[in-house]
């Protein structure tokens, strides 16, 4: 049995997070630099793991700015 009296929780990433995962490592690092965070935290956000809300909003804004071009 997996866990005691708890179901297994699977994070479901949003479409912006899956779009971020599709980029190459160089592109992801540039977007992380634009969001003033590290690549590690940006990848954690893309997987749906817990990061602070300011990092998440900064990464979404960086992705939104890239799509407008």
- Asked whether the predicted pLDDT for residue 2 surpasses 70, the reply is no
The domain of 47 spans 15-68
Q: Does residue 60 lie within any of the structural domains? A: yes
**pLDDT recorded at residue 3:** 59
Residue 6 lies inside a defined structural domain of this protein? no
Number of domains in the chain: 1
Residue 39 Cα distances to 2, 19, 48, angstroms: 31, 15, 14
Q: Hey, what are 30's tokens? A: 């540039």
Residue 58 has pLDDT above 70, yes or no: yes
In 3-state terms, what secondary structure has residue 2? coil
Q: What is the pLDDT of residues 6-52, one digit of tens each?
A: 777 788 888 989 999 999 999 999 999 999 999 999 999 999 888 88
């Amino acid at each position: 049995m997996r866990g005691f009296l708890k179901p297994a929780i699977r994070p479901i990433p949003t479409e912006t997070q899956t779009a971020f995962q599709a980029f190459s490592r160089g592109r992801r690092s540039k977007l992380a630099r634009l969001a003033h965070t590290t690549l590690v935290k940006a990848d954690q956000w893309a997987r749906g793991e817990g990061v602070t809300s300011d990092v998440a909003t900064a990464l979404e804004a960086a992705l939104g700015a890239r799509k407008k071009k």
